[in-house]
Structure 1
Amino acid sequence: MRDDEAARERQRRWRMVLGGPADEALGKAEGRDGAMDSALSALYDQGGDGDGEKGSRRSAGLGGSAPKVARWLGDIREYFPSTVVQVMQQDAIERLDLTRLLLEPEMLSAVEPDVHLVGTLLSLNRVMPEQTKDAARQVVRTVVEQLEKRIEQKTRAAVTGALNRAARINRPRHADIDWDRTIRANLKHYQAEHRTVIPERLIGYGRRTTAVQRDVVLCVDQSGSMAASVVFSGVFAAVLASMRSLRTSLVVFDTAVVDLTEQLEDPVEVLFGTQLGGGTDINRAIAYSQQLITRPRDSIFVLISDLYEGGVRDQMLRRVAEMTAAGVQVVVLLALSDEGAPAYDHENAAALAALGVPAFACTPDAFPDLMAAAIERRDLKAFAERYADQRKTGGAL
């Protein structure tokens, strides 16, 4: 690119960054740039009215009518990549009067489906008109299918591998010998003259069985701040429930407790069975979950919550201590989402850590590895520390 072309391109980019106030110094955006600038102005400029004009407050513009918002949603999908569209939609939900308009069916056909939009729709579930629910379910189903494609294969592989390793025995039948690990464990017995390894210790898997090997209880806080975690938890629960080697239960709670286990065949129904918002009674939810745990040594209890307890804190901590003492592998996640740790109760997190139960935020991509660690009864504190280091450096677990 020649110097003058490069200079024009830099000027164009600075104009797009600075917006309308830079018209006099850098020139007015034209053509496609002008359309993109209008879409950005409607959302982010203090004086934008949704049509790129100035002088009225933003809240009187984009949120003013469904047709205008529908056009705006169509524009941003045309001019920006889907990742940017999702960010702009989320900003519009938070900054403008878009939530109300999402109750109109024609609006839902114009939006880019994503986890945050699903969370917003679930929070509106109780006030959503019947004519809107079919469109909302289709949006939710689209996102669920995307998430299942993202997580299902890795989850199945991680869990199956962990169950196999956990069942490994030292006197296996011939068909169950793990030859790779057996050879590595017996390399010191290599016989050079015979050019072979003489295995003194066989390592293999336990007898293959269709019996349930682990019980998993997912206990999910459905307060408003946990929206993305609720969505991911519902999809993960459905994937885990489809594996015959696991007995999976899903419990969601605010100040009441709802068992959604019977709906796990359809994650969309699971999500519409949640009710985002309201208070939090973690102690009550744990008390209910304890009733579901009948084989402590073979059970994994996953609490997903920001730990802001509205119930009886001392009882909550005592129940966690009881479960760990009985042999339950307890996992506490402050969030299960791509956003990282939300605001959370540091005092309760520290109290859980003192019980040997670290509390940390986990991304969906890392959750299968976490479940594998829990199945194998590995040190979850060490896992959490490695995971935190991996997040900082971008390395692998």
Structure 2
Amino acid sequence: MTSETLRRWRLVLGGAAADGTGCALGGRDAAMDRTLEALYGQGTDVSRGRSGARGAGLGGSAPQVARWLGDIRTYFPTSVVQVMRRDAIERLGLAALLLEPEMLEAVEPDVHLVGTLLSLSKAMPEETRETARAVVRRVVEDLEKRLAARTRATVGGALDRSARVNRPRHRDIDWDRTIRANLRNYLPEYGTVVPERLVGYGRAAQSVKKDVILAVDQSGSMAASVVYASVFGAVLASMRSVSTRLVVFDTAVVDLTDQLSDPVDVLFGTRLGGGTDINRALAYCQSRVTRPAETVLVLISDLYEGGIRDEMLKRVAAMKASGVQVVTLLALSDEGAPAYDRGHAAALAALDAPAFACTPDLFPEVMAAAIEKRPLPIPEA
């Protein structure tokens, strides 16, 4: 076994007498080991910085914990930091310390931290709430910078192309559809198609709109999806050619459309956790559809239905039959598909509403495909 392999095993196993590596750590490796021990070990309390018999724990010292959070950012890549921070929240009670303003000011914000803050928002004292809003706003603004321009360009282009014309200008010819429409005119001796009928892109007028409804499951496992959906909802609402509605649900349904001008207000209007009644949420969304052929409904849920399953599927089938484009996302996040109800996913796929996980970078393409009524860019499993 190489020395590098021994070193890695020593960091994994934690240095107990029985780990069998016989490997001593120094310098950076020793500091890295201390951060791991504070979270996963059996003898160190990060709030005291000493060994003890009570096991790992963050204790009650915000400054010590802030230093620990800084250490993990120093020694580990971002993806590992996110995992360790979630583990600290679950294993060691970090959530309680996030209610302290000085703690929030020391933490590097990301989507997962926002999800944790939203789940704690009802328990926050007023002085912490203002700090939490500032943290959430930093994350939201960063996401808007990353996602807004591409979303507007991609969706705007799809809206322009969604109106087809048969006498297009040359620059507006849709060659793919034109060729398919004229395949019967193929001349094998010349290896070409004679286009008797041209299909082109129309330029959508400002008065021509698509109606987009985002229905977002706010159960605890969907926290990151709620954050991204709020940002995308605000971006879509800023486009005059799209009428956007944002609905969040657990066992109740809340319409947050009137708050879409500020996604931070939207996020603090959610209530993460609780049960799930997809059927009730779809019933509400269905009641708001006025132009089925011009409506895209995006259901974002892990599909663990606590309501009436058969009614849920009937509603989806009815909306599809009326012309509504139904898109089902198991998650809208960078982490991929979470645990989800595979039976419900299969049933929706049978209704031509396939359920799949979607990254934020792919979401504009998914919306564009739905608007143009072409196959969705479903990522490979």
Q: TM-score, normalised by structure 1?
A: 0.84
Letter in 2 for 1:19: G
Q: How does 1:167-316 map to 2 (within 5 A)?
A: 167-172=163-168, 174=169, 177-178=171-172, 181=175, 201-316=197-312
Q: How does 1:160-171 map to 2 (within 5 A)?
A: 160-171=156-167
The percentage of counterpart residues that share the same residue type is: 68
Letter in 1 for 2:229: S
Task: Tell me whether 1:356 sits opposite 2:326 in the alignment.
Answer: no
Give the equivalent residue in structure 2 for 1:346: 342
Give the equivalent residue in structure 1 for 2:15: 20
Deviations 1:207-233 (A, max 9, x none): 441124210000011011111111111
- Conserved 8 A contact 1:86-1:112: no
- Conserved 8 A contact 1:221-1:305: yes
Letter in 2 for 1:178: D
Q: How does 1:123-134 map to 2 (within 5 A)?
A: 123-134=119-130
Q: 1:54: Cα distance to partner?
A: 3.9
How far, CA to CA, are the matches of 2:318 and 2:92 in structure 1? 47
Give the equivalent residue in structure 2 for 1:96: 92
- Conserved 8 A contact 2:300-2:332: yes
Distance 1:110 1:77, change over 3 A: farther
Give the equivalent residue in structure 1 for 2:190: none
- Conserved 8 A contact 1:43-1:58: no
Deviations 1:294-313 (A, max 9, x none): 00001001111112222222
How far, CA to CA, are the matches of 1:49 and 1:113 in structure 2? 24
Deviates more, 1:361-370 or 1:206-215: 206-215
Q: Secondary structure at the match of 2:63?
A: helix
Q: TM-score, normalised by structure 2?
A: 0.87
Q: How does 1:53-64 map to 2 (within 5 A)?
A: 53-59=50-56, 61-64=57-60
Give the equivalent residue in structure 2 for 1:395: none
Letter in 2 for 1:109: E
Q: 1:237: Cα distance to partner?
A: 0.9
Deviates more, 1:252-261 or 1:19-28: 19-28
Letter in 2 for 1:129: P
Letter in 1 for 2:54: R
Deviations 1:259-300 (A, max 9, x none): 111111111111111000111111111111112210000100
Q: 2:68 aligns with which of 69, 72, 75?
A: 72
Letter in 2 for 1:274: T
How far, CA to CA, are the matches of 2:203 and 2:174 in structure 1? 18
- Conserved 8 A contact 1:38-1:52: no
Distance 1:150 1:375, change over 3 A: same
Distance 1:290 1:45, change over 3 A: same
- Conserved 8 A contact 1:82-1:112: no
- Conserved 8 A contact 2:160-2:203: no
Q: Secondary structure at the match of 2:326?
A: strand
Distance 1:65 1:343, change over 3 A: same
Distance 1:132 1:214, change over 3 A: same
Q: 1:58: Cα distance to partner?
A: 3.2
Q: 1:55: Cα distance to partner?
A: 4.2
Give the equivalent residue in structure 2 for 1:31: 27
How far, CA to CA, are the matches of 1:32 and 1:251 in structure 2? 48
Give the equivalent residue in structure 2 for 1:194: none
Q: 1:10: Cα distance to partner?
A: 6.0
Aligned residue-pair number = 371
How far, CA to CA, are the matches of 2:118 and 2:62 in structure 1? 20
How far, CA to CA, are the matches of 2:123 and 2:52 in structure 1? 34
Give the equivalent residue in structure 2 for 1:193: none
How far, CA to CA, are the matches of 2:332 and 2:203 in structure 1? 34
Structure 2: runs of 5 or more not aligned: 187-193
Distance 1:8 1:284, change over 3 A: closer
Q: 1:158: Cα distance to partner?
A: 2.1
Higher helix proportion (structure 1 or 2): 1
Q: 1:91: Cα distance to partner?
A: 1.6
How far, CA to CA, are the matches of 2:174 and 2:300 in structure 1? 37
Q: 1:179: Cα distance to partner?
A: 5.7
CA RMSD of aligned residues (A): 3.0
